[in-house]
């Protein structure tokens, strides 16, 4: 019988069909069904489900910063400015935002985002890197995801274009490349060396793609690693930058976990800082940050930004045009982004406000660091499981050593061995 619908699975966008976002894939759907079954009284050898498929800190009890939520509350409800319900520092910060958004957060902002927020981000970057930052090169976004989407739309220009992605990787990248009908060019991180980048491996992946006719345009680097948890050294970053320069690649630096560094002696260094300090490799650089991770964990409010560095001015005009088509980032997320990069300090806040903020911040960091160590230790204690140290970010990436028989069974069922492992476990 003919379909009564004009739009069907047969004539809809093939790019949408091919796009898979693994963190919300088969296992997530199964977990949802099991969760519903538990609510309906069905019996399982457990009483609750912990969904670890996506970084969502507040689901696991991470509390938001009191100061941030109070400021957001006062900005959303300006009548609170006439009361003493919050500390005067909170109300003063809210007044500052409202001066730059006199119509309130319900009105559109500039397409790139509030200028005051972009100016504060530029100051944050300059303090972090010791390198000048121009507010006009900063674009506020609904989380880092939207910035990545805009960037890839700008970079990819034809059906033979491809982007190099770290494997293991955050599945968003493969999904976005599928939507843009671009080639995925995997480069494999060295597990035995703590998930480090191998320059030889990069060149091998690049050369193999070129031989297949792929026009490799860009390389994605995630630091600290997601889901692998490694922290790149400045030398590894410089080697990667030299590789990108040699092969004329745009570098996309996913740096949303820059506050999550747990390994003693390790520290976050931005790609912008390394590029700026080694000007013989003047690569095109997009850098991304977000309020969803770090120590804030405000995933649902959707705040973030990306910065352009060494980007052609004519290209930037097109990026600005594309950003304009989407009107503006959500205004609540913009305010939260400013709170992330411009928190209370001993110099600009009352002692009690600053001390509360630092106490909450340290508590979140200590909890994440403890859990990173605990999870790694427990995984290592399991039979048939190995796991590298979690140096940063929010994830451990264990290797499960499956027996040959299980691998053969997965092949017979035409599914991946790891999916069979997780499905059979339920």
CA-based nearest residue to 325, from 104, 149, 173: 149
Handedness of CA 17, 18, 19, 21 (dihedral sign): positive
Q: How far is CA 324 from CA 146, 320, 327, in A?
A: 13, 6, 5
- Nearest Cα to 368, choosing from 403, 392, 335? 392
pLDDT tens sequence for the chain (426 residues): 565 775 556 766 676 666 565 555 667 777 778 878 888 888 887 888 777 766 777 777 788 899 999 999 999 999 998 888 999 999 999 999 999 888 888 877 888 899 999 999 999 999 999 999 999 999 999 888 888 888 888 888 888 999 999 998 888 888 888 888 888 999 999 998 889 999 999 999 999 999 999 999 999 999 999 889 899 998 999 999 999 999 999 999 999 999 999 998 889 999 999 999 988 888 999 999 999 888 888 888 889 999 999 998 888 888 888 888 888 888 989 999 999 999 999 998 999 999 999 999 999 999 999 988 998 999 989 888 899 999 998 888 888 888 888 888 888 888 888 777 777 655
Residues 20, 26, 28, 32, CA torsion sign: positive
Q: What is the pTM of this model?
A: 0.87
Assess contact for 161 and 217: CB atoms under 8 A.
Answer: yes
Q: How far apart are CA 12 and CA 14, in angstroms?
A: 6
Cis status, amide bond into 142, omega within 30 of 0: no
Alpha-carbon distance of 253 to 272, in angstroms, equals 9
Label residue 116 left, alpha or beta by phi (over 0 means left) and psi (-120 to 50 means alpha). Answer: alpha
Count Cβ neighbours within 10 Å for each residue of 316-338 and write b for 16 or more, e otherwise: eeebeebbeeeebbbbbbbbbbb
Q: Which CATH class is domain 100-341?
A: alpha beta
DSSP at 58: G
**Could you state, in order of their start, the residue ranges of all structural domains in the chain?**
1-54, 100-341
């Amino acid at each position: 019988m003919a379909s009564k619908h004009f739009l069907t699975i047969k004539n809809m966008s093939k790019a949408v069909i091919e796009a898979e976002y693994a963190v919300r894939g088969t296992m997530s759907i199964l977990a949802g069904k099991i969760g519903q079954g538990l609510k309906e009284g069905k019996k399982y050898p457990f009483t609750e489900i912990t969904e670890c498929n996506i970084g969502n800190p507040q689901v696991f009890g991470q509390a938001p910063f009191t100061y941030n939520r109070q400021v957001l509350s006062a900005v959303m409800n300006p009548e609170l400015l006439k009361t003493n319900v919050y500390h005067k520092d909170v109300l003063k910060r809210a007044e500052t935002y409202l001066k730059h958004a006199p119509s309130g957060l319900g009105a559109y902002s500039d397409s790139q985002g509030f200028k005051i927020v972009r100016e504060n981000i530029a100051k944050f970057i300059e303090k972090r890197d010791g390198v000048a930052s121009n507010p006009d090169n900063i674009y506020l976004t609904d989380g880092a995801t939207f910035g990545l989407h805009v960037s890839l739309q700008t970079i990819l220009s034809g059906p033979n274009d491809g982007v190099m992605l770290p494997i293991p990787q955050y599945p968003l990248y493969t999904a976005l490349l599928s939507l843009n009908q671009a080639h995925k060019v995997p480069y494999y991180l060295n597990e035995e060396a703590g998930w480090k980048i191998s320059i030889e491996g990069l060149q091998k992946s690049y050369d193999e793609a070129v031989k297949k006719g792929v026009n490799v345009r860009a390389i994605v680097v995630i630091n600290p690693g997601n889901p692998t948890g490694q922290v790149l050294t400045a030398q590894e970053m410089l080697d990667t930058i030299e590789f990108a320069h040699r092969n004329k690649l745009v570098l996309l630096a996913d740096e949303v976990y820059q506050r999550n560094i747990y390994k003693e002696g390790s520290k976050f260094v931005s790609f912008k800082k390394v590029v700026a300090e080694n000007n013989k490799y003047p690569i095109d650089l997009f850098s991304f940050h977000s309020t969803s991770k770090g120590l804030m964990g405000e995933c649902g409010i959707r705040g973030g930004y990306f910065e352009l560095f060494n980007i052609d001015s004519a290209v930037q005009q097109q990026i600005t045009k594309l950003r304009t088509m989407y009107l503006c980032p959500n205004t609540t997320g913009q305010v939260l982004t400013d709170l992330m990069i411009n928190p209370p300090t001993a110099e600009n806040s009352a002692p009690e406000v600053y001390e509360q903020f630092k106490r909450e911040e340290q508590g979140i960091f200590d909890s994440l660091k403890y859990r990173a160590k605990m999870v790694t230790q427990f995984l290592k204690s399991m039979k048939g499981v190995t796991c590298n140290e979690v140096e940063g970010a929010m994830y451990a990436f264990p290797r499960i050593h499956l027996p040959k028989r299980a691998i053969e069974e997965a092949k017979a069922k035409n599914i991946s061995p790891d999916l069979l492992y997780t499905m059979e476990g339920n």
